[in-house]
Amino acid sequence: MSEARRRRGAEARLSGRRAEVLAALWLMARGYRILGFRLKTPQAEIDLLARRGQVLAVVEVKARASLDTALEAVSLNQRQRLRRAGSALAAWRSDLAGVKVRLDLVALAPGRWPRHVADAWREDTQLG
């Protein structure tokens, strides 16, 4: 692997971590409690796991030029894996019994405030 490619990868990871911290702060300011960062599960890696009341939000964080680009950056397969990961965590942890698992997006764009989209891919759940 070339040094330039290694450097780009390191910069991308650092940028992703910064985006996740900013997203977590944004959600906490709105009453969410952050339960975890970059949680690795057998189903998927969850960027942020957050709870507010009886909602467990599996939060995907995307830094893109626009909200539409951020929404499109998460494939149907990835969304399904994230939902399964959130459901598995909720079933495994007794403190999460009875919560509603929801897939959210926090989109970050240069020069703009973060945008939190609750239940960002709701139509997926209606597909069956």
Q: For every one of its 128 residues, what pLDDT tens digit does the chain have, with 9 covering 90 and above?
A: 788 888 887 887 888 889 999 999 999 999 999 999 999 999 999 999 999 999 999 999 999 888 788 888 889 999 999 999 999 999 999 999 999 999 999 999 888 899 999 999 886 654 44
3 state SS of 66 = coil
* CA gap 53, 28 in Å, rounded: 13
Residue 101 forms beta bridges with which residues?
56
* CA gap 65, 10 in Å, rounded: 21
3 state SS of 96 = helix
- Confidence (pTM): 0.87
Which domains does the chain show, CATH number per domain? 3-125 (3.40.1350.10)
Q: What is the pLDDT of residue 58?
A: 97
